[in-house]
Amino acid sequence: MIEFEMPQPIAQRRELLQQAAEGMMRAQARYYDEHEHETPWDYINLTWQAMQAMGGGSFRSSTAGGKEDKPDRPRIGNQMLIHTIEMLSWGDAGLYLCTPGSALGGAAIEAVGTPEQKEKFLKRFAGEAPTWACMAMTEPHAGSDTAAIRTRAVRDNDHWVLNGTKIFVTGGHKSLVDSNGFVVVWATIDPSAGRAGMRPFAVEAGTPGMTITKLEKKLGIRASDTAMIVFEDCRLPAENLLGSAEVVKDDKGQGFRGAMATFDATRPSVAASALGIARATVEFVKEMLAAQGLAIPYGVPRTKLTAVQRDVLDMEAQVHAAWLLTLKAAWLMDQKKPNTLEASMCKIKAGEVVTKVTQKGVELLGPLGYSRKLLVEKWMRDAKINDLFEGTGQINRLVVARRLLGYTSKELK
Amino acid sequence: MYSFEPTEEQQMLVEAVRKFAVKDLREAAREADEFGELPKPLIDKGWELGIVQSSIPEPYGGFGSRSAVTNVLAAEELAYGDLSATMAILAPGLFALPILIAGSEPQKQTLLPRFCAGGYVSATAALIEPRIDFDPNALTVKARDDGDGWVLDGEKCYVPFAAEAEHVLVYAALDGKTQGFVVNPGAPGLTIGEREKNMGLRALPTREITLSNCKVACADRLGGEGGHDFTPLLNASRVALGALAVGVSRAAYEYALTYAKERTAFGEAIAQRQSIAFMLAEMATEIEAARLMVWEAAWLLDQGRDATREAYLAHTTTSDVALMCADRAVQILGGHGYIRDHPVEMWLRNARGFPMFEGLAIV
């Protein structure tokens, strides 16, 4: 039955997060925007404690009532997660990205790891100290074209030896320097095999041969660190390979599918973060306009609206449309149904919406919008990342179009 | 809880309506548009799907209860076939549903059983007025109290089946509020104008009506003497239009997708070019999002909650999406999209009207 009632546990969680988002995140947002590369420990410690109190490891919870999967209760873990991310990003998207936990690296292990690997790598997220994991895919010469990565993994008896350079690793510093976490590194075990040769490897903090050589300076989300990591004869135990060591040339990229499965799970999260920023912007613009005596009415024909009213209503409608897509993508995951199409759709829509809505927000507030006294200009800078990372809007359009048309990546390039 | 899954019963209805829409409505649409006429058997067959009747509860002769969610699911499928025919099939609901939602008990008992007696019963409503600043909440057709009833004055347009209808629900401003009045088309003071000629919806017979000192009995005010709240009716209309707009969008998108896979240029299907493929991906994404907005607003209606915001945003958003999809379908077909051999130019003409179709459908 079609329903849109927010489950009680989610409503409660949102109420709780609203306080933290308002009281702490909004208050600290500007500071960490202007002090790039400082680690926001207040936010980190608070969220880590909150997560440990909720059962540890992440903000996810599998069922309506508790941590465990229980067959008699509907699963809402992913719905809970996107609501949480939306709310935290409404507070501040840069700080949200500093949230400790298994994040993308953990998602890769969840997607393709063995039970032993899950035990070895994921247990650390139940400990005392805030811990992170991250994922390294992009290289200086290869972004969207992931099949072109050159980082090489060579087998040497009981070890794999990694060589290569990774860039744009979100949370690399927190995972490898600020905590005893790990990075999931994509490398090729057979350069002649293309995608079929690609494999993810988990590399733990402190592994010799792995160095962070640069922290990027960015347009926005400055509270979040973005690292360059160099691997020089970096030796890993054989069991740190996630998935099979065997390369089957015509399997159309089984190893690569691991990455894709990760994206199915995380694209709705990116969309949710985008939409937290977008909602913050719409709400703030409406408040500012209301203070000027300009109300935004529902139900008046468009022909009778002012241009500003129409802009704001369109912003609001677009944010809501994108949110419903995101919610559906998360719901499908909770239903254990495939969501590749919906995950990419919500990412396309949310990435575009947040970009436009925040840019419009700056415009509508005139000289105030452009000023660093308010957060709107920061939200505009933060917003843009959502149309870039975890698949640019264009890459996600390719994913969606290929599915809809039934085309392979050769048929639709 | 959140759920995006229709019930089994709803899925069965959707299947049945889809079959009818694809087989019957789509087949007849072009000729109906060219000649400005819908075949009577087509409307009768559509009526037999029982969409309006199943909203009417047993005490009033029907066999169900109104579910806006079920109705939007059915409406989208119908509009996927043809918009003019859909509006014709659902037109009796323009009268019956407001009676059901806002009518007094005697009005329900007298007026509703007629719609459940079997065949298609022509009935309609008059909301839209011929002026550029038309606003359903600020009508220029006025109602006044003349002591032993109501007197209506002013002009309406886009009244479907005005010449054939047994009853017209005329909306008029009474003390600044929009109120419905049950009027007999033969009533003195009511003049039915010529058949209108519009850009789209050509197969749907609509007319202007003029009310001049048109007298309505005291008891024929919708809701009885105390009147009614217009908001739920307007919201239900906007949700309905949203569903129809999604149906038209999907028709245009699917047609363009099929064409783009078949049509070759420069040695490959045009769908293999990103400029075409990305347009299709965006159309599909917008349609999916727009549909969820309609579902949510319909669900709010069923919950008896205020759906003003959601219904309004669903209506404006789906109107934009329908226009975008129909326009892109024409664009993807290129010159062929402009030729009346293909339906996409008709869908573009139909889609352009959604922002102003208020009151032409209700769920």
CB distance from B3 to chain A under 8 Å? yes
Determine the distance from the C-alpha atom of residue A92 to the mean position of all C-alpha atoms in its chain, rounded to a whole number. 14
pLDDT tens sequence across B43-60? 999 999 999 999 999 999
Contact B6 A301 (CB under 8 A): no
From the CA of A5, how many Å to the nearest CA of chain B? 5
Instruction: Examine the pLDDT at B307 and tell me if it is beyond 70.
Output: yes
pLDDT tens sequence across B161-187? 999 999 999 999 999 999 999 999 999
- DSSP letter for each residue of B203-257: TS-EEEEEEEEEEEEGGGBTTSTT---SHHHHHHHHHHHHHHHHHHHHHHHHHHH
Residues B67, A141: Cα–Cα separation, whole Å: 56
Q: Of the candidates B132, B274, B292, which has its C-beta nearest A325's C-beta?
A: B292
Which residue of B255, B313, B323 is the best one to mutate when testing the A interface, meaning the one whose CB has the most A CBs within 10 A?
A: B313
| Predicted ipTM of the assembly | 0.95
From the CA of B158, how many Å to the nearest CA of chain A? 17
Q: Which long-range contacts (CB under 8 A, 24 or more apart) does A9-16 make?
A: A9/A61, A9/A64, A9/A65, A9/A76, A9/A80, A10/A76, A10/A79, A10/A80, A10/A83, A13/A80, A13/A83, A13/A84, A13/A87, A14/A83, A14/A87
Q: What is the H or E stretch that residue B300 is in? A: helix B274-302
Residues A220, A33: Cα–Cα separation, whole Å: 7
For residue B152, which phi and psi values (nearest 5 degrees)? -110, 140
Q: What is the H or E stretch that residue B193 is in? A: strand B190-195
Greatest C-alpha distance within chain A? 75
Question: For A8-61, where are the alpha helices, taking DSSP H only?
Answer: 8-20, 26-34, 41-53
| Angle in degrees, 0-180, between the axes of helices B231-262 and B274-302, rounded to the nearest 10 | 160
Residues B53, B50: Cα–Cα separation, whole Å: 5
Instruction: Count Cα atoms within 13 angstroms, Cβ side, for B255.
Output: 29
CB distance from B203 to chain A under 8 Å? no
The whole-number pLDDT of residue A108 equals 83
Name the residue among A33, A372, A29 with its Cα closest to residue A218.
A33
Q: What is the H or E stretch that residue B330 is in? A: helix B308-333
Contact A320 B313 (CB under 8 A): yes
Whether A239 is a known active-site residue: answer no
Q: Which B-chain residues 295-324 have CB contacts (< 8 A) with chain A?
A: 295-296, 298-300, 308-309, 312-313, 316-317
Contact A317 B313 (CB under 8 A): yes
Q: Against a cut of 0.90, is the pTM above it? A: yes
Token duo for residue B62: 């029907």
Residues A345, A323: Cα–Cα separation, whole Å: 11
**Among all residues of B, which ones are annotated catalytic?**
358
Contacts of A252 (CB under 8 A, 6+ apart): A195, A196
- DSSP letter for each residue of A230-282: EEEEEEEEGGGB-S-S---TTSS-HHHHHHHHHHHHHHHHHHHHHHHHHHHHH
Question: For A103-152, where are the alpha helices, taking DSSP H only?
Answer: 103-112, 115-122
- DSSP letter for each residue of A360-402: HHHHHTHHHHHSTTSSHHHHHHHHGGGGTSSS-HHHHHHHHHH
pLDDT tens sequence across B56-67? 999 999 888 999
The whole-number pLDDT of residue A109 equals 87
Q: How far is CA B166 from CA A376, B96, B121, B185, in A?
A: 57, 12, 8, 7
The whole-number pLDDT of residue B2 equals 97
Q: Which residues of B177-203 are buried (b: 16+ CB within 10 A; e: fewer)?
A: ebbbbbbebebeebebbeebeeebbbb
- Expressed in angstroms, the distance from the first to the final Cα of chain A is 39
The count of other CB atoms within 10 Å of the CB of residue A148 is 13
Contacts of B177 (CB under 8 A, 6+ apart): B227, B230
The whole-number pLDDT of residue A24 equals 95
Per-residue pLDDT for chain A (413 aa), expressed as one digit of tens each?
999 999 999 999 999 999 999 999 999 999 999 999 999 999 999 999 988 887 655 565 443 334 445 566 789 999 999 999 999 999 999 999 999 998 888 888 887 889 999 999 999 998 899 999 999 999 999 988 888 999 999 999 999 999 999 999 999 999 999 999 999 999 999 999 888 899 999 999 999 999 999 999 999 999 999 999 999 999 999 999 998 888 776 555 555 666 667 777 789 999 999 999 999 999 999 999 999 999 999 999 999 999 999 999 999 999 999 999 999 999 999 999 999 999 999 999 999 999 999 999 999 999 999 999 999 999 999 999 999 998 899 999 999 999 999 999 999 99
Contact B234 A345 (CB under 8 A): no
- Where residue B351 falls among pLDDT bands split at 50, 70, 90? very high
Q: What is the mean pLDDT of residues B200-226?
A: 97
Return the SS3 of A319: helix
